[in-house]
Amino acid sequence: MYRSHNCGELRTTHNNTEVTLAGWVQGVRDKGFMVYVDVRDRYGITQLYFDEDQTSKDLMEQAQRLGREFVIQVKGKVQERASKNPNIPTGDIEVLVSELTVLNSSIVPPFTIEDQTDGGDDLRMKYRYLDIRRNPVKGNLIFRHKVAQAVRNYLSNNGFIEVETPYLIKSTPEGARDFVVPSRMNEGQFYALPQSPQTFKQLLMVGGMDKYFQIVKCFRDEDLRADRQPEFTQIDCEMAFVEQEDILNTFEGLTRHLLKEINGVDVEKFPRLLYDDAMRLYGNDKPDIRFGMEFGELNAVAQHKDFNVFNSAELVVGIAVPGGNSYTRKDIDKLIDWVKRPQVGALGMVYCRCNDDGSYKSSVDKFYNQDDLAKWAEVTGAKAGDLICVLSGETSKVRAQLSALRMELAERLGLRNPDEFAPLWVMDFPLLEWDEETERYHAMHHPFTSPKPGQLELLDTKPCEVKANAYDLVLNGNEIGGGSIRIHDKATQAIMLKHLGFSDEEARAQFGFLMDAFEYGAPPHGGIAFGLDRLVAILGGQETIRDFIAFPKNNSGRDVMIDAPAPIDKEQLEELNLKLNLKS
Q: CA–CA separation, 16 vs 305, rounded Å?
A: 87
Q: CA–CA separation, 90 vs 133, rounded Å?
A: 18
Q: Edge to edge, what strands does the sheet with 161-162 contain?
A: 161-162, 211-219, 231-240, 525-531, 478-485, 470-475, 423-427, 272-274
- Closest residue by Cα to residue 146 from 133, 409, 138: 138
* Binding site listing for ATP: 220-222, 229, 479, 531-534
Q: CA–CA separation, 541 vs 419, rounded Å?
A: 7
* Binding site listing: 174, 220-222, 229, 445, 479, 486, 531-534
- Closest residue by Cα to residue 78 from 23, 9, 19, 160: 19
Which residues 6+ apart lie within 8 Å of 83 measured at CB? none
Bridge partners of residue 471, in order along the sequence: 427, 483
Cβ contact 134:114 at 8 Å = yes
Determine the residue type at 371: D
Q: CA–CA separation, 518 vs 29, rounded Å?
A: 71
Q: How far is CA 232 from CA 77, 145, 163, 257, 306, in A?
A: 47, 15, 18, 23, 52
* Binding site listing for L-aspartate: 174, 220, 445, 486
Q: CA–CA separation, 222 vs 174, rounded Å?
A: 12
Cβ contact 191:219 at 8 Å = no
Cβ contact 46:75 at 8 Å = no
- The angle that helices 532-539 and 244-263 make with each other, rounded to 10 degrees, is 40
SS3 500: coil
Which residues 6+ apart lie within 8 Å of 439 measured at CB? none
